[in-house]
Structure 1
Amino acid sequence: MPTTRKPALEWRALKWSCQHPGMVTVPAALAACVTKSVLDFGLPTTGGVLGGAVLGLAGWYRGHPDSFDTVALPRLRSLHRRWWSYVGGRWSDILLDCELVSFNRRTGDVIVPRILEVRAASPSIDTIHVRINRGQTPSMFEDKADALAHALLAERVAVVKVKPQVVALVIERENPFNADAIPPIDLPYDADEIDLSAIELGDTEYGQPWTQSFVGQHLFVAGATGSGKGSLLWSPLRGMAPLLRDGVVKPDVIDLKEGMETEVGADLFHRRATDWDTAAEIVEAFRDELKERQALLRGERKRKFSPSAETPLRLLMIDELGMLTAYGPSAEVRSVLKLLAEIMTQGRAAGFGVCGYVQEPTKDTVPIRELFTARVCLSVTSQSQVDMTLGDGMRLRGALADEIPLDPAHAGIGFVAEQGSRSPLRVRASYQSDEDIRELVDFVTKGRRPLRSVA
């Protein structure tokens, strides 16, 4: 008859140490180093070194937030969450209450799916890799996703299969943005204030300005109807307003929704198309200008352009890109795709960029999707579209764009791949009303100083 006795405490501790080697070896190594330092150099010297290390970390935190938040903060946050929010006893109770544990049929012991890793790349989203029990399936966790969200006091929980017997629970702890739209930035008046490598588009989940480079970049924005793609058409133009006024930036626009989105700001654009034939002509003219710019730079023996009134940054902004690359006449679509591919592979150094806005980011709809260098995923309708837009594995890392509600309170919220890492960053674009766009048009076309200009 099988015994019901549990292994002794020391054996359970040994098992735990084997399962979490870092939590044993790292503190032990630190303790050994400190002890040796005290014995070799004395307590004052050791205290000075430790104090200097703490001051160094504090100085790093205060003096260079970008690198600290990218390198150190996610690791510290992950460690804190693992041993505070998802610690053993609390984790066991949650899975027991949600009926996601197994029972040993001989002894009746509770078998809890084990946490393998906790990643907290952002303040509001955690990703927990869990080894599920034999006999469990990912669908069992998907069925309990709502119960898990309530038990973890989270907004929502998504379940992703990582490999056999391992799932990832992507836990959205909170929505960092409230229901109020982010207002547009105050119109800058002087061209010297504008940095084309950091145009402000809205806010990040950290409460910092969300900026995007438009030099040497092609921007791809995916989102369902009502997700707020229009904000990412007007916000860049607002951020470049003095350069538009001075002719240092010249945008063309293709608006195949009969011009409804861009009519209010039509005067901002160098060229504008609202039908398919005119759109094809604009793409071809844009490509021809690129060739002329390349010849000019080659004649001046320059490898890159410098934005100026003589050699402006040229932007081709295409609203509803799929209408141009998939749903038009087949022969003409192939011709346009060839022109766009030529522009996007050759235009970066010459100062020619493409901004594409699409509802369905599949390869069938946008065959040139991989040529876009900067990507934004707003609310989409399926899980697969997140990785299509941002890259493989981004939803697993926390980019739950398919979970963003399609309502005005969440318009403009999405994810980007954070620069310098593969972690998703949640962002929200500023909202531009018709009045804001008219203010921008008056500023650009009439040189009228805005009432809310930056001092």
Structure 2
Amino acid sequence: MFKKLPGDEARTLVTTTPDTAVVFRPAVVRTPAIFTVTIFLWRLLAGIVRLIWRHPVAVAVLAVPAVLSILYGWRIALVAVAVPVSLLAPWPFFDRASFDRWMGWRLLAWWRLVWIYRRHWQSVMIVSGLGRHLQGRDYLPHIIRVTCTSWADLVTVKMISGQSVKDWADRIEHLAHGFGTTSCRVTVARSGRLLLTFPRRDPLATPLPALPIPETPSVGPVEIGRCEDGTPWRLKVHGTHVLVAGATGAGKGSIIWSTIRGLLPAVRAGLVQVWALDPKRMELSFGRDLFGTRYAASPADCADLLEAAVSVMQERADRFAGLQRSHTPTVDDPFVLVVVDEVAFLTAYQSDKGLKLRISAALATLTTQGRAVGFGVMAALQDPRKEVMNVRNLFPDKIALRLDESEQVDMVLGDGARDRGALADHISPVPERGAGIGYVRLETSPDPIRARAGYVSDSDIRAMVADFAEEANK
């Protein structure tokens, strides 16, 4: 049997002994120790500089007592630590908001970075397939920073060269469960970097009451609720069309009535008109006095009302032609919002083919030509399939409330919305926990936003009718 041979000598060996193993040992180049030491020291220095640059406060908190202890003894170092701590200790009790903004969330972000993300990063990346183990070396995405808010961790990640956003979007469930959260959302921070959102709690779990009616008239954006990050949810209705999809009891009425509620001062000022189509005769009929003659319930009346809206829109377009390309609401040319509560009943489930064609044609005309002349459509439906609502792509802004199937999320919000974290099929069916919660995808952004609309109760609607019915019918 042959011994271990270096280099290429094994290629020239010939043996007649069957099943003889030739052990090949490649030539070994020994690296001088000075190179190894130099590389180690350089990496150590770079790590220290990076640590000081990224965490100057934390380094100072640890370094100052150590230096004082060496120079002046441990008693002086203890006093230097005890005095600031005693002064800062009451801070969170007197002004928790400022403490969290300047220190609390930073400390929590450091703890989450060390104990949650760096601790489990390698295993989660390898198991989920976002990291690679090649030739004894791990190729992993890098954590750039972790930022904490009152409800979520925001993790900025640098992808491996060659990865795409879809690679991460396809693995949001792996990431969520790997780091101990209920969900994960993926957004693009910049080229090669992603922002992963891991919620620690649900800030929308508590139902919102109806928001106060604005004091000044405005055509929007209309504040109808709260976003997940605590900012007001302002829905744009002028200059766009809005599609609201959700299962029974998902809270479509909350969005419709919150929008109408926010437009009431403009309705009183004559800057807005609300035309209502209520084929179910349930949701909008409760406040029908707000709409007056611009209310329709039967399919025939709905077709007539839609065609009347098309006629007004085309007459206005003839007057605007060659003079202006955008609409500014005035008393003579107000913004017209056409609200359709259950549009699928008119476009898909209508047995009269003549009425079905009239309604579909009128909706298509309004959604394709109405934005520039001050006509907007807000349509609500339960079933978002194409054969049910064949003009859904003509609605730039879309809202997905609780849906029954995961495939319906992309039907409403567009391809890839669920992979980016729009888990509308996971919203709780319990009304107190999930009604009015939805994911919003705007024309200007592909990333879905989670928000919750305020609940407008029956008493709120009665008060609206009592205060605004007379002005709305003018």
What band does the TM-score fall into relative to the shorter chain? Answer: 0.5 to 0.7
- Shift of the 83–326 alpha-carbon distance from structure 1 to 2, 3 Å rule, reads same
1:210 and 1:244 mapped to 2: Cα distance? 21
Match of 1:47 in 2: none
2:314 matched to 1:291? yes
**1:313 partner letter:** F
- TM-aligned CA deviation for residue 417 of structure 1: 2.6
- TM-aligned CA deviation for residue 358 of structure 1: 1.1
**2:368 partner letter:** T
Are 1:248 and 1:313, in contact at CA under 8 Å, matched by a contact in 2?
yes
2:410 matched to 1:387? yes
Match of 1:302 in 2: 324
Quick check: 148-157 or 122-131, which moved more? 122-131
- Shift of the 27–369 alpha-carbon distance from structure 1 to 2, 3 Å rule, reads farther
Are 2:242 and 2:396, in contact at CA under 8 Å, matched by a contact in 1?
yes
- TM-aligned CA deviation for residue 91 of structure 1: 3.1
1:233 and 1:120 mapped to 2: Cα distance? 38
Percent identity between the two aligned chains: 33
- TM-aligned CA deviation for residue 446 of structure 1: 4.7
Match of 1:427 in 2: 451
- Shift of the 101–442 alpha-carbon distance from structure 1 to 2, 3 Å rule, reads closer
- Shift of the 254–172 alpha-carbon distance from structure 1 to 2, 3 Å rule, reads farther
**1:318 partner letter:** V
- Shift of the 113–393 alpha-carbon distance from structure 1 to 2, 3 Å rule, reads farther
- TM-aligned CA deviation for residue 434 of structure 1: 0.6
Match of 1:311 in 2: 333
2:391 and 2:130 mapped to 1: Cα distance? 46
- TM-aligned CA deviation for residue 370 of structure 1: 0.9
Are 2:240 and 2:395, in contact at CA under 8 Å, matched by a contact in 1?
yes
- TM-aligned CA deviation for residue 171 of structure 1: 7.2
Match of 1:413 in 2: 437
TM-score normalized by structure 1?
A: 0.66
Q: 2:243 aligns with which of 220, 230, 247?
A: 220
1:353 and 1:101 mapped to 2: Cα distance? 44
Match of 1:185 in 2: 211
Q: 1:176 aligns with which of 191, 202, 205?
A: 202
Are 2:225 and 2:452, in contact at CA under 8 Å, matched by a contact in 1?
yes
1:421 and 1:117 mapped to 2: Cα distance? 25
Q: Map 1:84-99; keep pairs closer than 5 Å.
A: 84=114, 87-92=117-122
Match of 1:320 in 2: 342
- TM-aligned CA deviation for residue 158 of structure 1: 9.5
- TM-aligned CA deviation for residue 322 of structure 1: 0.9
Match of 1:263 in 2: 285
**1:177 is paired with a residue of what secondary structure?**
coil
**1:267 is paired with a residue of what secondary structure?**
helix
- TM-aligned CA deviation for residue 374 of structure 1: 1.3
**2:372 is paired with a residue of what secondary structure?**
coil
1:256 and 1:309 mapped to 2: Cα distance? 29
Match of 1:442 in 2: 466
Are 1:81 and 1:118, in contact at CA under 8 Å, matched by a contact in 2?
no
- Shift of the 401–315 alpha-carbon distance from structure 1 to 2, 3 Å rule, reads same
- TM-aligned CA deviation for residue 447 of structure 1: 6.5
1:85 and 1:145 mapped to 2: Cα distance? 20
**2:449 is paired with a residue of what secondary structure?**
strand
Deviations 1:404-437 (A, max 9, x none): 1111111111111367543221111111001111
- TM-aligned CA deviation for residue 200 of structure 1: 0.6
**1:439 partner letter:** A
- TM-aligned CA deviation for residue 303 of structure 1: 2.9
Larger Rg: 1 or 2? 2
Are 1:121 and 1:423, in contact at CA under 8 Å, matched by a contact in 2?
no
1:236 and 1:374 mapped to 2: Cα distance? 14
- Shift of the 420–356 alpha-carbon distance from structure 1 to 2, 3 Å rule, reads closer
2:272 and 2:310 mapped to 1: Cα distance? 17
2:268 and 2:345 mapped to 1: Cα distance? 30
Are 2:409 and 2:417, in contact at CA under 8 Å, matched by a contact in 1?
yes
- Shift of the 376–242 alpha-carbon distance from structure 1 to 2, 3 Å rule, reads same
**1:349 is paired with a residue of what secondary structure?**
helix
- TM-aligned CA deviation for residue 309 of structure 1: 2.1
Deviations 1:187-211 (A, max 9, x none): 234xxx2332321111111111111
- TM-aligned CA deviation for residue 296 of structure 1: 2.9
- Shift of the 319–311 alpha-carbon distance from structure 1 to 2, 3 Å rule, reads same
**1:232 partner letter:** I
Match of 1:336 in 2: 359
Are 2:244 and 2:379, in contact at CA under 8 Å, matched by a contact in 1?
yes
1:122 and 1:293 mapped to 2: Cα distance? 51
Match of 1:155 in 2: 182
Are 2:253 and 2:283, in contact at CA under 8 Å, matched by a contact in 1?
yes
**1:438 is paired with a residue of what secondary structure?**
helix
**1:256 is paired with a residue of what secondary structure?**
coil
**2:209 partner letter:** P
2:235 and 2:269 mapped to 1: Cα distance? 21
- Shift of the 156–288 alpha-carbon distance from structure 1 to 2, 3 Å rule, reads same
- TM-aligned CA deviation for residue 88 of structure 1: 4.8
**1:361 is paired with a residue of what secondary structure?**
coil
- Shift of the 158–195 alpha-carbon distance from structure 1 to 2, 3 Å rule, reads closer
TM-score normalized by structure 2?
A: 0.63
2:233 matched to 1:210? yes
- TM-aligned CA deviation for residue 99 of structure 1: 11
- Shift of the 411–27 alpha-carbon distance from structure 1 to 2, 3 Å rule, reads same
1:126 and 1:194 mapped to 2: Cα distance? 37
Quick check: 230-239 or 335-344, which moved more? 335-344
1:90 and 1:386 mapped to 2: Cα distance? 31
**1:230 is paired with a residue of what secondary structure?**
helix
Match of 1:45 in 2: none
- Shift of the 95–298 alpha-carbon distance from structure 1 to 2, 3 Å rule, reads closer
1:340 and 1:121 mapped to 2: Cα distance? 45
CA RMSD of aligned residues (A): 4.7
Structure 1 residues not aligned, in runs of 5+: 15-22, 32-75, 132-137, 160-167, 449-455
Deviations 1:215-254 (A, max 9, x none): 1111111111111110111111111111222332111111
**2:373 is paired with a residue of what secondary structure?**
coil
